[in-house]
Each structure stands twice: as structure tokens, then as C-alpha cells.
Amino acid sequence: MSRSPARRRAAGAVLGALLATSLVGVTAAALYLRARNAGEQALAEAPARTYARHLAAAMVGSGAGHDQVQEVVQQIRRDGRNVVHASVVVEPRSTKYRFLRKRRYLAHTERSRVRQALDPRRAGDKEIYDLANRVRHKGRIVETRAPQGKPFEVIAAEPVRLGGRHVGMALVVTRPRVIAPGVPAWPLGLGIALVIVLALFAGAFTRQRYLVVMAAVVCFALYARSHLGQLEAFYVTTIENQAAGIGTDVAGRPPALPGWPLMATTAIALAICLLGQIRVGERVAGALRSHHVAYLYLLPAAAGMLVLVFVPFGYGLGLGFFNHAHGSYTYVGLSNFAEILSGGGRPLSHPLNFYFTLGVTVLWTGFNVLLHVVIGLALALVLKDPLLRFKGVYRVLLILPWAVPNYITALIWKGMFHHQYGAVNHVLELFGIEKISWFSHFSTAFAANLVTNTWLGFPFMMVVCLGALQSIPRDVYEAADVDGASRWQAFWDITLPLLRPALFPAIILGTIWTFNMFNIIYLVSAGAPGGSTDILITEAYRWAFERADRYGLAAAYALIILVILLTYTLVTNRMTKATEDTYS
């Protein structure tokens, strides 16, 4: 790592520029999204809020004459295209409006829902009762909710007061077309902090790089002042217009974020860096010129990897911060990760809790690799004997499971574990054991997966061990024998240490394969019972393709898997290096 000072300076400048640009970009994009989402939310909630207030006012103003209220409801129904429910709910204990006691719902936009709601046995009635209680205690309620499998709804409830007494509430439920959930502010802070920390550790904040960052921040501040202010003004005026008279069409889009301020900032940042370090471009060009043949050979593969590995990876990285519902994406910050890492509000024993799945995955990987190594090593030790006859035949037959495509293996074993016709249950019956319904309990389903994958995986370990055993010189054993070592001692003190350099990489590889062994889990137990035998990778798959297309959550899962595997590889890599240093 002996770099020339000029080169180090150049690298520092490029890094500084990149950091400054990303700082500006991330901040601007996040703030813009936040402002826009908040505006959208307010815009979506506005009709319901306005209608509810209007309804309540009508009730108070009219002295709660039945016809007047009915008229207002009809009016709301006429102009509010997205209103699904508008009603007045009167407290039963209100003595003044006796006639309301019997019919708590004065009017409704959907006839069938009136009937439903009037029936106290229906779930909707309890919901409204709870809402009425909350309104009595807390006052006005405006909230957004997304019931399972239904579109978003905005509920606005306005308390109705007569002569200082709470008599009921006006309730309006609308179903706006799109609602952007709010964006939490803390990921933004975290992101900025991260960039700054990175910059500090990278040594990017030295002299002119400081200027670059300062310039970027100033540009951003000016930008935010003008455009975010405009954005806010847009929402305020739209909502005010809408509230001014019922029936105003409020469907409008917020102004788009103009791209030039960001581009200008980036250009300034880059210009400052390049003015300081003109040689950067020269260096890149020089590298390209002097090594152009190498890069040419690398180009096809690099292009392929870029398009089909790195772009999808970057896409997935981005997707992890969005929520996908009904074909549209909403920025949700880190909430996908928060949902996964907090267990999604499910108890630890719930199969969909991340930590449960992680535990199953670790258990699955550990048991499998252990069994692969033990069986593979035992067979290799037996087959190693040079005097053993037919060892070639045994070897060829024993690696058959490795040759069979693994989805076919999985399906074969799924059949073998069939409750009624499966060979495994048949064998059990021969021994007088009752048939087991393999996929209806966690332990047996897990065991079925484990058996399948052990069958599939031991040949690889056996072959690796055989190869490594053959490379151990025989005279080491002879020397040990002369020295009076027992067979056990020879195994423990000679064979195992000498196997380690070959076995370690195989174990690492095997662990990664098993950790991601999608086909076995997906095809043998299919997660049964109730998704409890799912491992992380099948869980991610199910979120994306089998449970309401939650691409964002699945992408976040994939990222977490990547992080786990990368950490594992780095740690074990260091360990292997350590063992290699010790044993070679």
C-alpha cells in the first residue's frame, strides 16, 4: 500500500467529492420526500376532516333535525367521490334527542353498510362504538389505516357538542386514491451522521475538501429554502381551497423537484476537487491507456456482472427502503428493516418472527454441516484403507446423491416422507412403530429436511476428505506407530490437524450452501407446519411472491442475509488464515 502522495491526494479529493455529493443528494431527496409525503397525507385526510366538521356543524346548527342532517349527508354523498361512510352517531344516554337513540345512524352513503352497522352483532358496530368512546375522551380524531387486504382509509370523527355537552360524533370515512405514509426523520439524521463519520475516518475532511462540503451544504440550504417552502405552500393553499367549500376538486400533484440545483451542487463540488487535483482524470485515463488490453478482456464479463448482479443488487438495496402495495412504491425509510429486526410485533415463538427464522436457519445449517462432516469424514477414513477391495466401486456409488439434481432429490424425499405411501413410514412400520405425519410437527418436518439434505450433502465432504487424506504422507503414521501412538491418538493428533487446511474451506463453502439451501426447504417441507421450518431465504421468497407482493420487505430480508453471510465469511476467512499460518 505504498501510494504516492499525489495519488493519495487525488483519491482523497474524489472521495471528498463523492461524500459531499451523496450528502447533498441524500439529504435533499429525503427532505423532499418527507415534505411531499406529509403534504400528501394532509391532502388525503383533508376531505374526510372537512366533511366531518361540516356534518357536525350542520347537526349543531340545525338543532339536530333529522331532515337537515340527512340533507347534508346527501350533499356529501353527491360531491365526495371517495366517501364510503358518513354518519352521525349519537350517544344513547343523550336524553334530549330521544328519537336518535333507536336509530343511531341517521344516514349513510351505502345502504348495505347501514344494515350491517345497525346490526350490533356485526364487527363494524363494535368498531364504531370504540371510536365514539375515543372521541368523547380525546376530541377530534383523524387517522389513516390500512386494513388487511383493503385499500387505505381515512377516518375523521368530529365530536358534536350541544350546550357544552357531548352528544355524539360525526363520522366520515373516505378512501383516497393514494396515501403516502409519513417518513420518519431519524433515518435521515442517521444517514447524515454516517456520511460524516465515514468522511472523517476516510480523511476526506482536509482543507479544500472542507470547502467542498461547506459549499454543498450552503447550496442545499438555499435550495431547501426556495423549493421546500414552495412545496409546503402548495399543500397549504390546496387544502385551504378544498376546505373553503365542499365539492372543490382537490386532486392535484405536488410540484416536481427540479433537478438543476442538485446538479449545480454536484458540479461545484466536483469542480473544486478537480481544480485542486487536475491529475485525477489524467491518472484514470493513463490506467485505461496502459492497461487497455486487460480491460478489454475483462469488459464482457464485467458488463454482464454489472447488469445482472450489481444493478439488481443496487436495486435491491434501494427496494429495501420502499414499501410495495398494489403496484406502487412508497418510501418508508428504515421501517422494513425495523419491522424485520423488531420481529414485526410477533412473539419470539411465532414462525414469522425474524429471530425464530434465524434460529431455525442457524440450527439447520449447524446440524447439516455437522452431519455432512462427520459422515463424510467417517466414510473417507474407512475408504482410505489402501488394502480395502472395491473401494472405487463404493466411492462411485456413494457420490451418486451429489450428481442427482437437488430439486429431484428434494421431491424424491418428499415422496419418501409421505404419510400414507412413504417408504420411511413403511420402514417404521416394519419395526412396529406407528406411522408419523412428518410435516405436521416442527421437529419431524425439520428432521425430514435434515435427512434429505444430509443425503444430498455428505458426498461432497467425503470426496474432499478423501482427497485431503491421500495427501497425508504415510510415513507420518508409521512414525506415530513406532512411537506407540494409539489409533485414536493418531487420528486426533495427526489426521485432524492435517485435514484442517482442506476441511476449513469446504466447511465454509458448505455452510454458505446450506444457509441458502432454498430447494430442499421449499420443496420438502415447504415451511410446514405454518412456516415454522422456513429458513431466511425461503422466508424472503415468500414475502415477495406468496404474501401480498411485499417486495420491499423481501429485499430487506435479502440484504440482512447478505450481511450475515458476509460477516460469517470475513470472520471465518480470518480464522482460516490463522489456521493456515499455524498449520503450514
Partner 1 sequence: MSANCGSSRLRRSGVKHRNCGSSRLRRSGVKHRNSSASRLLVHLVLITFTGLTLLPVALVVRKAITPGQEFELTLNPIPSRVTLDHFRHVVGASLPDGTWLFGRQLLNSLLAALGTTVLGVFLACTAAYAFSRFRFPGRRFGLLTFLVVQMFPATLLMIPLYIILSRLGLLSNILGLVLVYSTTAIPFCVWMLKGYFDTIPRELEEAALIDGASRLRIFYGIILPLARPAIAVTALFCFMTAWNEYILAATFLGRETSYTLPVLIKSYVGEYGSTQWGSFAAGAIIVSIPVVALFYALQKNLVAGLTAGGVKG
Q: Which is nearer to partner 1, 14 or 154 (CB)?
A: 14
Rounded to whole angstroms, how far apart are CA atoms 181 and 166? Answer: 32
Distance CA 584, CA 580 (A): 6
Could you tell me the smallest distance in angstroms from the CB atom of residue 545 to partner 1?
6
Residue 103 Cβ, how far from partner 1 at the closest point, in Å? Answer: 49
User: Going edge to edge, which strands form the sheet with 165-174?
Assistant: 83-90, 165-174, 153-162, 141-145
Q: How far is the CB of 216 from partner 1 (least distance, A)?
A: 28
92: Cβ–Cβ under 8 A, 6 or more apart, which residues?
101, 104
Nearer to partner 1, 235 or 455 (CB): 455
User: What does the alpha-carbon distance between residue 519 and residue 453 come to, in Å, rounded to a whole number?
Assistant: 10
Looking at the Cβ atoms of 99 and 390, the one nearer to partner 1 is 390
Q: DSSP letter for 433, please.
A: P
SS (H, E, C) 357-414: HHHHHHHHHHHHHHHHHHHHHHHHHHHHCCCCCCHHHHHHHHCHHHHCCHHHHHHHHH
Residues 41 and 144: beta-carbon distance below 8 Å? yes
Kindly state the smallest distance separating residue 47's Cβ from partner 1, in Å: 33
Place of cell 495427501: 471
Using CA of residue 554, residue 559, residue 560, residue 564, what is the dihedral sign? positive
Q: How far is the CB of 278 from partner 1 (least distance, A)?
A: 19
Task: Give the count of beta carbons closer than 10 Å to the beta carbon of residue 87.
Answer: 23
Pick the closer one to partner 1 by CB: 186 or 315: 315
Long-range contacts of 185-193 (CB under 8 A, 24+ apart): 185/34, 187/30, 187/333, 187/334, 188/26, 188/27, 188/30, 188/31, 188/34, 188/333, 190/334, 191/26, 191/27, 191/30, 192/23, 192/26, 192/27
Q: Please identify, using beta-carbon distances, which residue of 409 and 533 lies nearer to partner 1.
A: 409
What is the nearest approach in angstroms of partner 1 to the Cβ of residue 480?
A: 5
Cα 269 from chain centroid (whole Å): 34
State the minimum distance, in angstroms, from the CB of residue 451 to partner 1: 10
Q: How far is the CB of 450 from partner 1 (least distance, A)?
A: 15
Ramachandran quadrant class, 282 (left: phi over 0; alpha: psi -120 to 50; beta: rest):
alpha
Q: Which is nearer to partner 1, 446 or 455 (CB)?
A: 455
Closer residue to partner 1 (CB): 252 or 530: 530
CB of 364 to partner 1, least distance (A): 16
State the DSSP code for 343: G
Q: Which is nearer to partner 1, 244 or 400 (CB)?
A: 400
Task: Compare residues 210 and 329 and give the one whose CB is closer to partner 1.
Answer: 329
